[in-house]
């Protein structure tokens, strides 16, 4: 999952990525999704700031695109959030905040 001593395994591969540009829809930190979950990434030092960045972006996403109010989004995260440490090497740490799709409401039509 991550790099902790600066000696990450570098390999080449062929991948297929789909990106969507959503006009007038800003995000603060990277977002992603797959069949099982949605996720956000935060990067900072110290580690708690990276975690806060990833979590804040997830809360923003749940409110903007899934129609939850801020309290509901916080309560959802309190019950089902999963974190993955993606990088713990200088100059900053990377934390990924994940929410399993099984706990998400349907996205709102005005969302991304």
Per-residue model confidence as pLDDT tens digits over 30-42: 999 999 999 999 9
Residue 75 lies inside a defined structural domain of this protein: yes
Residue 10 lies in a domain: no
Q: Is residue 66 included in any domain, yes or no?
A: yes
Residue 40 belongs to a domain: no
The top-scoring range by mean pLDDT among 1-5, 73-77, 85-89, 91-95 is: 73-77
- Three-state DSSP class for residue 59: helix
Domain containing 75 equals 48-102
Q: How many helices (H) and strands (E) does the chain have?
A: 2, 4
pTM of the model: 0.84
Q: 3-state class of 82 per DSSP?
A: strand
Residues paired with residue 91 on neighbouring β-strands, in sequence order: none
Q: Is residue 8 part of a domain?
A: no
For residue 30, being part of any structural domain is answered with no
Confidence of residue 22 (pLDDT cuts 50, 70, 90): confident
Q: Which residues contact 72 (CB under 8 A, 6 or more apart)?
A: 62
Task: With respect to residue 59, please indicate whether it lies within any of the assigned structural domains.
Answer: yes
Q: Classify the phi-psi angles of 107: left when phi > 0, otherwise alpha if psi is within -120 to 50, otherwise beta.
A: beta
Residue 53 lies inside a defined structural domain of this protein: yes
State the total domains in the chain: 1
């Amino acid at each position: 999952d991550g790099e902790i001593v600066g000696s990450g395994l570098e390999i080449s591969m062929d991948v297929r990525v789909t990106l969507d540009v959503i006009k007038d829809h800003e995000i603060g930190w990277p977002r992603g999704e797959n069949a099982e979950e949605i996720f956000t990434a935060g990067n900072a030092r110290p580690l708690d700031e990276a975690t806060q960045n990833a979590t804040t972006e997830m809360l923003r996403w749940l409110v903007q695109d899934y129609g939850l109010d801020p309290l509901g989004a916080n309560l959802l995260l309190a019950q089902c959030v999963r974190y993955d440490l993606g990088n713990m090497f200088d100059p900053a740490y990377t934390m990924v905040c994940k929410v399993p799709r099984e706990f998400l409401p349907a996205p709102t039509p005005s969302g991304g």
